[in-house]
Chain A
Amino acid sequence: GAVVSQHPSRVICKSGTSVKIECRSLDFQATTMFWYRQFPKKSLMLMATSNEGSKATYEQGVEKDKFLINHASLTLSTLTVTSAHPEDSSFYICSADPPAGYTDTQYFGPGTRLTVL
């Protein structure tokens, strides 16, 4: 079964609105989660590292005020795309980093496809 879930799986919104994407770790508590963005036929680009109870660490070039990340619990991280524009249309994927000894790599969520009109 799914280890990491994302909601919604698909969202269409108007330009200028904000969209919240939830990422839940179902099988383990994750102090660290990652948010990626993937454009068509491109690879995954890490946007930020989400740390439970502290501020997210953003990669160079990612606007922290536009992509708000909240990791309020050990099983939930949210990504809010604020004032979305068509160029924000992409496939957003989260992953959860399991505790030491659980497994050797991240578990990915199924992704959220965002379309901004």
Chain B
Amino acid sequence: QKEVEQNSGPLSVPEGAIASLNCTYSDRGSQSFFWYRQYSGKSPELIMSIYSNGDKEDGRFTAQLNKASQYVSLLIRDSQPSDSATYLCAVNNPGTASKLTFGTGTRLQVTL
């Protein structure tokens, strides 16, 4: 059973702080990792993708991947109230290039 694990939260951070979201996955063969943001009642939107060990930065977002530890994280700097949403970690299924397994999501609350 391929699994993607996330803490469901809620994770509460004050405005301007760094939010750290974590995800672990079970299948060592996975090669592609994605973070999606989902607002209540809406469909997911892609925030970041990462394929290699290390950090990948895009604006206020940084994705971190450690394949040896089977761990991927998302850092959000200077958190804004508009960042309040559920963040879904998704991992590809090896051998099925585009098929994804999603984690349960972490709900982030950015407080004023």
| Interface size band for A | 10 to 19
A32 touches B98 (CB 8 A): yes
Q: Which of B13-21, B44-52, B56-64, B75-83 contacts A (4 or more CB under 8 A)?
A: B44-52
Interface size on B, residues (CB 8 A): 18
Judge whether B32 and A104 touch: CB under 8 Å. yes
B 65-76 binary contact with A (CB < 8 Å = 1; else 0): 000000000000
With A44-B44, A44-B102, A46-B99 in contact, is A105–B88 under 8 Å at CB? no
Quick check: is B25 within 8 A (CB to CB) of the other chain? no
Q: Contact partner of A43 among B41, B45, B98, B105, CB < 8 A? A: B105
Contact A105 B49 (CB under 8 A): yes
Main SS at interface, chain B: strand
A34 at the interface (CB under 8 A from B): yes
Q: Which residues of A contact B99 (CB under 8 A)?
A: 34, 46, 49
| Residue of A34, A97, A108, A113 with highest tally of chain B CB at under 10 A | A108
Known A-B contacts A43-B88, A44-B88; A105 and B46 likewise in contact (beta carbons under 8 Å): yes
Q: Which residues of A contact B (CB under 8 A)?
A: 32, 34, 42-46, 49, 91, 93, 97, 104-106, 108-111, 113
Known pairs A34-B98, A46-B99, A93-B44. 5 more at Cβ < 8 A? A32-B98, A44-B44, A105-B100, A108-B44, A108-B45
The 4 closest A-B pairs by CB, nearest first: A97-B98, A43-B104, A111-B43, A108-B43
Q: List 12 A-B contacts (CB under 8 A).
A: A43-B102, A43-B104, A44-B44, A44-B102, A91-B41, A97-B98, A104-B49, A105-B32, A105-B100, A106-B100, A111-B42, A113-B41
